[in-house]
């Protein structure tokens, strides 16, 4: 329940920042191709802090790591607010990088849910925690509507709200009750090396599918506010589209775990990839507001099935004493892919065509090779003999 509440309240800052990050970057950057660079720096910060945070949690416990994440989110809000006030793009980017520390810590909520869960309850535990994002999808965009133009400097009020969310939300972790991992003895099993872990077929496929699901979701979502506003709609419309998208990311979590238990994790991951492809297809049909809503809803559902499925597969493919090593490595790779996606998003959107419509089409076409990669890896796993796949 603590993790569900943290996902709901602290997690609200992510849709807030992803809604306005590109718009704020567009107003501060000298070159519009760098409009989504603030979001890229958030993801880069998340990638850079994944391994240190994993080590902290393995050594000192989940509570300490989650407090560090909330402090990073608050620091990012403070520096981002200063950057907006001074109209300094470099300072704003520094704040975005610090926000990535929180984003990385939030990624470990799902793993923490599985720490003390039985094998049968593990997918459901992960799903319930992810379902906490349902409230964050409601809270975050509504806070954007209230705060984006509340002060003379656009978006400054939103970043002040982000600081408050982190300070208040960090108090939740006082109640967390996850046993600290025991310090391994000299004769304790050391587990597989990082390379050995990545050579395990189920781990390799889980990492690939998690990376592709998250990276494609980020690629499209990052450009969405720019595309919505660029196609003649206002910031309120952009916030509504992002809100529906985040709702679609988390509403399925109420039953994703049950679907995994009934049909198997591989089928749910495959369904997620198909739905992601459907999102791209709808987006390419036009730039009416309905197209944005439908495409982003499908994008959210596809991410949910693909990412929760991959997380569940990964959680069952390594031993407890390999947890810190594997989870940190997984998030390093996943957010490395997301960093590339978010860096590419602004360039594709603003610099690959003469119009917002052309840029939006380029963003969605860029999904194709990565969906082929993830789908191919999943088919490869399913066609292997079961003893080899395990």
The structural domains of the chain, ordered by start, are: 2-179+191-389 (1.20.1250.20)
- 65-124 pLDDT, tens digit per residue, is 999 999 999 999 999 999 999 999 999 999 999 999 999 999 888 778 877 777 778 777
pLDDT of residue 95: 94
Q: What is the pLDDT of residues 228-237, one digit of tens each?
A: 988 989 878 8
Q: Is the pLDDT of residue 288 over 60?
A: yes
- Whether residue 188 is predicted with pLDDT greater than 80 in this model: the reply is no
What does DSSP assign to residue 241? H
Structure tokens at 43: 């993801």
Token couple for 15: 């849709």
Check: pTM over 0.85? Answer yes or no: no
Residue 187 exposed, middle or buried by CB count within 10 Å (0-12, 13-18, 19+): exposed
The tokens describing 310, both together, are 């991959």
Q: Which of 214, 213, 218, 222 has its CA nearest to residue 349?
A: 222
Return the DSSP state at 180. P
Residues 6+ apart with CB under 8 A from 186: none
Q: What is the pLDDT, as a whole number, of residue 184?
A: 59
pLDDT for 355 equals 87
Under 8 Å CB-to-CB from 174, ≥6 apart: which residues?
none
Report pLDDT digits (tens) over 333-359: 888 888 888 778 878 888 877 788 999
The interaxial angle of helices 253-263 and 289-315, nearest 10 deg, is 50
Mean of the per-residue pLDDT values of the chain = 86
Cα separation values, 111 from 21, 124, 194, 317, 372, Å: 27, 12, 18, 13, 27
Other beta carbons within 10 Å of 119: 9
pLDDT digits 0-9 by tens, 242-256? 888 988 988 888 888
Residues 6+ apart with CB under 8 A from 377: 204, 205, 208, 209
> Under a CB-based contact definition with an 8 Å cutoff, are residues 39 and 21 in contact?
yes
List of residues 6+ apart from 213 with CB closer than 8 A: 272, 273, 276, 302, 303, 306, 307, 310, 374
pLDDT level of residue 182 (50, 70, 90 thresholds): low
pLDDT digit string, tens, across residues 2-59? 898 999 999 999 888 887 888 888 888 888 778 778 888 998 898 888 889 988 988 8
pLDDT tier for residue 301 given thresholds of 50, 70 and 90: very high
Q: Are 322 and 191 in contact (CB under 8 A)?
A: yes
pLDDT score at 194 = 73
Q: How far apart are alpha carbons 371 and 149 in whole angstroms? A: 38
- pLDDT at position 189 is 61
Decide: 51 and 65 in contact? Cβ < 8 Å.
Answer: no
CB-based contact 99:11 (threshold 8 Å): no
CB 244 within 8 A of CB 296: yes
């Amino acid at each position: 329940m603590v993790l569900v509440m943290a996902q709901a309240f602290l997690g609200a800052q992510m849709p807030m920042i992803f809604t306005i990050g590109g718009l704020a970057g567009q107003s501060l950057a000298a070159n519009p191709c760098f409009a989504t660079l603030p979001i890229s720096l958030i993801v880069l910060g998340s990638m850079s802090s994944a391994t240190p945070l994993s080590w902290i949690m393995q050594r000192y416990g989940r509570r300490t790591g989650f407090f560090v994440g909330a402090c990073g989110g608050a620091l990012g809000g403070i520096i981002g607010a200063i950057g907006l006030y001074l109209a300094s793009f470099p300072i704003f980017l520094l704040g975005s990088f610090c926000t990535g520390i929180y984003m990385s810590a939030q990624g470990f909520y799902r793993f923490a849910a599985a720490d003390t869960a039985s094998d049968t309850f593990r997918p459901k535990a992960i799903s319930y925690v992810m379902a906490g994002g349902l409230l964050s999808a409601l809270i975050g965009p509504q806070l954007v509507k209230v705060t984006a133009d509340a002060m003379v400097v656009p978006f400054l009020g939103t970043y002040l709200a982000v600081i408050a969310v982190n300070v208040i939300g960090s108090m939740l972790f006082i109640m967390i009750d996850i046993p600290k991992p025991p310090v391994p003895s000299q004769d304790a099993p050391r587990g597989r090396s990082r390379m050995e872990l990545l050579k395990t077929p189920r781990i390799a496929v889980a990492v690939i599918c998690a990376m592709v699901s998250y990276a494609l979701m980020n690629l499209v979502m990052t450009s969405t506010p720019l595309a919505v506003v660029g196609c003649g709609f206002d910031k309120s419309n952009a916030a509504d589209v992002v809100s529906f998208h985040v709702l679609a990311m988390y509403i399925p979590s109420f039953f994703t775990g049950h679907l995994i238990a009934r049909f198997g994790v591989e089928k749910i991951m495959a369904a997620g990839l198909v739905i992601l492809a459907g999102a791209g297809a709808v987006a390419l049909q036009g730039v009416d507001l309905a197209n944005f809503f439908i495409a982003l809803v499908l994008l959210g559902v596809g991410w949910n099935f693909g990412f929760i499925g991959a997380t569940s597969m990964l959680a069952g493919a390594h031993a407890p004493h390999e947890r810190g090593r594997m989870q940190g490595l997984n998030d390093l790779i996943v957010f490395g892919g997301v960093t590339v996606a978010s860096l590419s998003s602004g360039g594709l959107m603003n610099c690959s065509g003469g119009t917002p419509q052309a840029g939006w089409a380029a963003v969605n076409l860029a999904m194709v090779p990565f969906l082929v990669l993830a789908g191919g890896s999943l088919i490869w796993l399913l066609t292997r003999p079961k003893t080899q796949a395990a």
